[in-house]
Amino acid sequence: MSWLFLGVSLWGAWFTYNALSPSPRGPRFSVVSFAAGWLTTELALHHVVWQVIATIGFGLAGAFEAWPGRLGLLITFASWAGLAVAQRRAHEAEGVLEGALCEGLGAGYRERILPELRSQLYAGIDWSRVVRPFPIRRTDVEIVKDIQFHRERGVDLLLDVYRNASRPRGCPVLFQIHGGGWMIGAKDEQALPLMNHMASAGWVCVTTNYRLSPHATFPEHLIDCKRALRWIHDRVADYGGDPDFVVVTGGSAGGHLAALLALSANDPEYQPGFETLDTRVRGCVPFYGVYDFANRNRTHAHDGLIEILEEKILKGSREEIPEEWDRASPITRVNADAPPFFTIHGEDDTLVPVAEAREFVRALGEKARAPSVYAELPGAQHAFEIFPSVRTLHTVNAVHRFLASLYSEHLRGGRADGGDPAVEGVADRDRGASAP
């Protein structure tokens, strides 16, 4: 029993060490490091709880009577100390995010948020959601699922709508694009904490599917997302949304597509059959996205992503189709008319290095006129905000403040007298307005 406990202690300690010091070495090892570190960093308290229970069980079984068991106990104590460090780093996200917002939007950005919107902001942590992260869905949020917005080569493209259960009208819209390496994933798997939070606050959230590789070849993924944006323009008002205010978000491959959608507005190449539609968005919030397919700045430690792009996504090498690689890279599309960005990345991301985000944000700062906010979260892995955790909830609260700031500027600019307008969506929600 002592040797078994020592082995279990070493196994747990490796998870903790990997969480604190992940490694991006090689395509396969970086995936393993991500999978182990992601759950450990976001569920650090849960890991401590189950390890305490297991340790008590081993102790009752006599595991500490021999030296291997006592050594294992020391290793376990060290592992718990490491998990405490991981938890502390998760809390650091609050200050990092607020500092980023103050730097990008100005120190007084909160005061410029309209009172009606400021009253909906939440700065604390709902510990009940951290302790029990599943199910993610909120009781005051209604989901309208599987709305068909297009059919392409026998494939039905579907989207879901999240809205407050009171069905308010005239609400701002958050458009979510899922990730998954352009090859896997679905509309109802990612950004659930963010969408449920924003829908509860009176936003209408739309999350879309798109054709996946290897069957799809880029830019078909982006074209499908633009088709979903066309549906938003045409139909979201039926569900309480305001098509005149749309912000796009997404993570990983979804972060890439969200950034590219925001930076390729009105490009007829990506709008077949609706070339004249105005596809500008009011802002973009990409999470841990891929911004440079060609790896121009050598931010990636290996060529794993390049190989996937060549074989599965673009289906041609950089030498064979250089124009396609450039057009597919958001960093090459940054321009003076780019909308406001809130770029979020974890400093310990082993799948998409944080240096990728730094280069993208640098390009935005050099070329774009609109504000650019960048938050680099200490201790965060790829896909850190998939489910509620301390870091996730701090991030969701910060994104809400960013969106409220953008929406306040939009509403204030829409008033000829420059006064603070009533927020139609909030007022209608309070009156119990209905929609289909």
Q: Which of the residues are catalytic?
A: 252, 349, 382
Cis peptide upstream of residue 436 (ω within 30 degrees of 0): no
Residue 387 token pair: 């489910």
Q: Where are the alpha helices (DSSP H) in 277-336?
A: 304-308, 322-327, 330-333
Q: What is the CA radius of gyration of the chain?
A: 23
| Vertex 360 angle, CA 96 and 103, to 5° | 35
Contact of 329 with 272, CB cutoff 8 Å: no
Q: Report d(CA 386, CA 383) in Å as an integer.
A: 6
Contact of 368 with 21, CB cutoff 8 Å: no
3-class state of residue 317 by DSSP: coil
Residue 272 token pair: 């077949």
Long-range own/partner contacts, residues 32-35 (CB < 8 A, 24 or more apart): 33/350, 34/349, 34/350, 34/351, 34/381, 34/382, 34/383
Q: Report d(CA 275, CA 266) in Å as an integer.
A: 7
